């Protein structure tokens, strides 16, 4: 457990460093969702950040992001999302499959997702990190062993939040540039757009995260 906690500290520091600089370029600005990308010095896979304003409570958006078995409802090209282990309501391990257009093989991955709650400034930070060797690799899939996602949720006022998103990783294998562009820009944009629709419909009005936050 100590090693896992240390890993999260290292990853969060790494994600802070790539999320806070001036080298980002806007790639899409539509429907109140802004997506930026920047070159990665260690990979041809660009880093991604996105932001959006949503009309919901922090507990609603947090509950939606932590409801990993429902990712097929909103995560871009997600065909499978299964809970493997629930350590707590804000600490889970899950398996996910991403559909990739032919001729590239579909990708699968195992994530450890964990939320940190800052009651002083009414914010939540959620980090998802790929795990190696959690489950055996599956035939016909390419296992993604390096991916880091960070969600930062801040309350603007009651009933309105700002969502910030960062992605850094390597899907493994070879990708045509058009597929890379699709997943780097369209992926985050469409995921956040679908997530916004779900939470603003009130699908997570009743949730267990509200009690955990207990502002």
Report whether pLDDT(73) > 60. yes
Structure tokens at 209: 């995260």
Domains and CATH numbers, the chain: 2-213 (3.30.530.20)
pLDDT at position 13 = 43
Per-residue pLDDT tens over the stretch 102-160: 888 899 999 999 999 998 888 999 999 999 999 999 999 999 999 999 999 999 999 99
CA–CA dist 16, 148 (Å, integer)? 11
In whole angstroms, what separates CA 87 from the centre of its chain?
A: 19
CA distance linking residue 14 with residue 167, whole number of Å: 12
What are the E-state strand segments in 6-145?
Answer: 25-30, 33-40, 43-54, 78-88, 91-98, 107-118, 123-130, 142-143
Closest CA to 31 of 190, 170, 212: 190
């Amino acid at each position: 457990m100590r090693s896992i906690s240390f890993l999260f500290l290292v990853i969060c520091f790494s994600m802070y460093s790539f999320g806070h600089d001036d080298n980002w370029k806007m790639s899409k600005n539509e429907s109140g969702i802004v997506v930026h990308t920047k070159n990665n010095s260690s990979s041809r896979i660009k880093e991604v950040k996105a932001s959006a304003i949503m009309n919901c409570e922090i507990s609603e958006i947090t509950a939606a992001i932590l409801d990993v078995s429902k990712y097929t409802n909103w995560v871009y090209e997600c065909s499978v999302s299964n809970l493997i282990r629930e350590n707590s309501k804000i600490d889970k391990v899950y398996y996910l499959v991403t559909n990739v257009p032919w001729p590239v093989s579909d990708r699968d991955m195992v994530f450890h997702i964990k939320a940190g709650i800052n009651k002083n400034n009414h914010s939540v930070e959620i980090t998802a990190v790929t795990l190696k060797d959690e489950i055996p690799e599956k035939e016909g899939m390419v296992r993604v062993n390096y991916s880091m996602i960070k969600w930062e949720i801040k309350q603007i006022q009651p009933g309105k939040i700002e969502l910030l998103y960062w992605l850094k990783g390597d899907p493994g294998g070879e990708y045509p540039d058009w597929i890379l562009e699709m997943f780097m820009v369209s992926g985050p944009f469409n995921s956040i757009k679908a997530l916004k629709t779900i939470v603003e419909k009130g699908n997570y009005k009743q949730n267990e995260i509200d009690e955990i936050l207990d502002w």
